[in-house]
């Protein structure tokens, strides 16, 4: 199977008992490669290739495009960060600033935390697509008024809201809910919109009923 964005597609199955099943492989934003998996020859996987992940008994659970040379983690210490949070982002732009406390008088990294809080230039936003089949894989360019403003970090289908969803870091001035964006999916620019969060049950009516 081939697509304009991917050279080849590989199927990877995982089972509950594999020792490294939940480690994330470098360059992949979703599930990792099991240490005992023989159905996927990692030396054949090249940057840009696609992976389909099947969990025994549950079926297809995710997909991703590789962005670098595949390498099976040998320990949990080698597992990289997930799609939206990594060493190039900070909690404030990811909307997690509420989880940080600066009350302690002095701690290692406090200056860096304060600097990140005071110098925010982008934020993590949700982008929705009316066509639920318009699902980004990750790294797709995003443009506003024909200007590239960022790239998709991860994507999926929101069955409850019946829309496709993407997450991306965008400049603060371009992150206002309701802003129309274009995202290139398989060579076609698709219309999306920056959505206010949470995407479902924003007033907690469901959980209170």
Q: What is the CATH number of domain 122-195?
A: 2.40.30.110
- Backbone φ, ψ for residue 47 (5° rounding): -55, 130
Q: Which residues contact 129 (CB under 8 A, 6 or more apart)?
A: 163, 164, 165, 166, 183, 190, 191, 192
Q: Structural domain boundaries of the chain?
A: 9-78, 83-120, 122-195
- Distance (Å, whole) CA 151 – CA 149: 7
Round to the nearest angstrom and report the end-to-end CA distance of the chain.
46
- As a whole number, mean pLDDT of residues 124-138 equals 92
pLDDT mean over 17-26: 42
Long-range pairs of 152-160 with CB within 8 A, sequence gap ≥ 24: 152/127, 152/183, 153/29, 153/83, 153/84, 153/124, 154/29, 154/30, 154/83, 154/84, 157/132, 157/133, 158/128, 158/132, 158/199, 158/200, 159/132, 160/200
Express each pLDDT in 74-114 by its tens digit. Answer: 554 544 444 677 778 888 999 988 888 888 888 888 999 99
Q: Tell me the pTM.
A: 0.62
Q: Which range is least confidently modeled, 32-41, 82-91, 102-111, 137-146?
A: 32-41
Confidence grade of residue 121 (pLDDT, cut at 50, 70, 90)? very high
Q: Which fold has domain 83-120?
A: Aminomethyltransferase fragment (4.10.1250)
């Amino acid at each position: 199977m081939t697509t304009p964005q991917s050279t080849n597609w590989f199927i990877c199955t995982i089972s509950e008992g594999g020792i490294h099943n939940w480690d994330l492989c470098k360059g992949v934003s979703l599930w990792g490669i099991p240490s005992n998996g023989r159905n996927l020859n990692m030396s054949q996987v090249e940057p840009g290739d696609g992976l389909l992940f099947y969990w025994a008994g549950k079926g297809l659970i995710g997909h991703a495009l590789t962005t670098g040379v595949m390498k099976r983690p040998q320990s949990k210490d080698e597992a990289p960060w997930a799609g939206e949070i990594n060493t190039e982002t900070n909690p404030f732009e990811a909307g997690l600033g509420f989880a940080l406390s600066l009350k302690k008088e002095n701690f290692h990294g406090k200056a860096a935390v304060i600097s990140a809080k005071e110098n925010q230039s982008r934020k993590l936003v949700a982008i929705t697509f009316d066509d639920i089949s318009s699902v980004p894989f990750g790294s797709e360019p995003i443009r506003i008024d024909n200007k590239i403003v960022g790239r998709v970090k991860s994507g999926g289908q929101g069955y409850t809201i019946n829309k496709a969803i993407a997450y991306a870091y965008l400049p603060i001035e371009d992150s206002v809910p309701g802003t129309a964006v274009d995202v290139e999916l398989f060579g076609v620019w698709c219309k999306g919109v920056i959505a206010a969060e949470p995407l479902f049950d924003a007033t907690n009516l469901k959980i209170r009923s």
